[in-house]
Amino acid sequence: MVVLLTGGAGYIGSHTCLELLKQGYDVISVDNYCNASPEALRRVRELSGRDVKEYRLDLRDKQALRRVFEENKIDACVHFAGLKAVGESVSKPLDYYDNNLISTINLLELMAQFDVRNLVFSSSATVYGRADTMPLDESLKTWCYSPYGWTKFMIEQILRDAAFANQALSVVLLRYFNPVGAHPSGRIGEDPLGIPNNLIPFVTKVAIGELPKLVIYGNDYNTPDGTCRRDYIHVCDLAKGHVDAIRYCDSHTGCEAINLGTGVPYSVLEIVNSFMRVNQVDVPYSIGPRRPGDVDECWASTEKARRLLGWKAEKGLDDMMRDAWRWQQLNPKGYHG
Ligand code: NAD
Ligand code: UFG
């Protein structure tokens, strides 16, 4: 089976690529490298001992994308490609709507023209907005608070409509919670440009001495220790969820939203303390003001993923912390070292 990954060189794409190769799939990656390095796929080839066909192109260039469909017989697509920084999306909303929506529409049109019927989409827990009933289950009403979030919300709706109009289409909307960690080899991982926005890459850069200290954004939330709680999920568990979702698509039609999380929340303080304990390294921190837009807590209901995909996260917090630190130590400058 041939799987096309859009954004295949990115953080989640490269881990999924490796898992697909391991499970015997053939993989094609399309990426414009706006937030990735070709080195990631070079290392995926090295780890798997297999080849990945690679196209450097922007998904908004429909003619270029058409050639990928002309040159390959594709059985399924996993659509990772997109801009993903919540804060940046507030200051550059049009970039986010242009990149994320046009890319998706081009991909869908070409899938229809070339009769490709299976699609897995990278959605996000951000579509649950400020829901206050935990755990978050897929039947809850969705709503967003950033242009980035709205692109996920809109794409989910576009895909539901497309699957309704074309009864042969099978779509899985995977709503990721907080993907963290890296492949245990330490060869592939998350390589953010500049100062990271997300907690774990920030923590690893403080631990290695590249940043002076972590600021914890608020300790007056309505949570047991006052810091925000999130559902962190190991990126290798997430990658396996995509393979299960492709298998599910292949034997069903319609459109399903499915959470990928562990169902267990950890607070920012618990994360920092566990990182220091597991890795025996210090992470200086202070408590700062709240970051605008953060919700107190959020975690996934994992029942639907278990029921439909037979998927369940296997790795725990210690694995996430250990693997994130190994990646940072072995690649102090990411893929550009
Ligand atoms: P990433 O930035 O590492 O990967 C996205 C990839 O898409 C990059 O390699 C980038 O170069 C590529 N890309 C972007 N626009 C493109 C375009 N127009 N044409 C071709 N390639 C393009 O991000 P990631 O963390 O791997 O996330 C993958 C997907 O999962 C994204 O859609 C993201 O919104 C979603 N998601 C991520 C998280 C997270 O915390 N990492 C959480 C929820 C959802
Ligand atoms: N945090 C800090 N200090 C930092 C960075 C983060 O205290 O320097 C805290 C945040 O306030 C939050 C927690 O750590 O409480 C996690 O923050 P992240 O930025 O790592 O993750 P978010 O939960 O804010 O965001 C994630 C994804 C988004 C997605 C969002 C909603 O990165 O793509 O979940 O589901 F939109």
Instruction: Choose one of 84, 183, 237, 258 to mutate for the ligand 1 pocket test, by most ligand atoms within 8 angstroms of C-beta.
Output: 84
Query: How many Å apart are CA 109 and CA 116, to the nearest integer?
Result: 10
Average pLDDT over residues 88-104: 97
Enclosing H/E stretch for 9: none
Catalytic residue among 148, 221, 232, 248: 148
Residue 119: pLDDT over 80:
yes
**So what's the pLDDT on residue 110?**
98
Could you give the CA distance from residue 187 to residue 40 in angstroms, rounded to a whole number? 8
Among 154, 128, 133, smallest CA distance to 143 is for 128
Average pLDDT of the residues in 104-122: 98
CB 286 within 8 A of CB 216: yes
- Between CA 212 and CA 214 the distance in angstroms is 7
Mean pLDDT of 94-117: 98
DSSP symbol at 290: P
Contact 103/143 with Cβ under 8 angstroms? no
Residue 120 has pLDDT above 80, yes or no: yes
pLDDT average, residue stretch 150-179: 98
255 Cα distance to chain centroid: 19
How far apart are alpha carbons 29 and 14 in whole angstroms? 9
Q: What is the per-residue pLDDT for 290?
A: 96
Distance 35 CA to ligand 1 centre (A): 8
Q: Which of 47-56, 192-201, 272-281, 307-316 has the lowest mean pLDDT?
A: 192-201
Tens digits of residue pLDDT in 181-198: 999 999 999 999 889 999
Q: Report the pLDDT value the prediction gives residue 337, as an integer from 0 to 100.
A: 74
User: Which of 90, 175, 217, 222 to probe ligand 2 with, by most ligand atoms within 8 A of CB?
Assistant: 217
Confidence (pTM)? 0.98
Q: Clarify whether 128 is annotated catalytic.
A: no
The ranges assigned to domains in the chain are: 2-180+232-262+300-314
Mean pLDDT score of the chain, rounded to an integer? 97
Q: Which ligand is nearest to the CA of 228?
A: 2
The pLDDT confidence band at residue 118, using thresholds 50, 70 and 90, is very high
| Residue 202, pLDDT above cutoff 90 | yes
Is the CB of residue 32 less than 8 Å from the CB of residue 59? yes
The three-point CA angle 190-194-195 to 5° equals 85
Q: What is the pLDDT of residue 336?
A: 87
Q: How confident is the model at residue 132 (pLDDT cuts 50, 70, 90)?
A: confident
Q: Indicate whether residue 127 lines ligand 2 (CB < 6 A).
A: no
User: Contact at 8 Å (CB) between 245 and 172?
Assistant: yes
Q: Report DSSP letters for 82-142, one per residue.
A: S---HHHHHH-HHHHHIIIIIHHHHHHHHHHHTT--EEEEEEEGGGGTT--SSSB-TTS--
Topology of domain 2-180+232-262+300-314, per CATH? Rossmann fold (3.40.50)
- Strands of the chain (E only): list them: 2-6, 26-31, 53-56, 76-79, 118-124, 170-176, 178-180, 214-217, 229-230, 232-234, 254-260, 266-267, 285-288
Residues 44-77: pLDDT tens digits?
A: 999 999 999 999 999 999 999 999 999 999 999 9
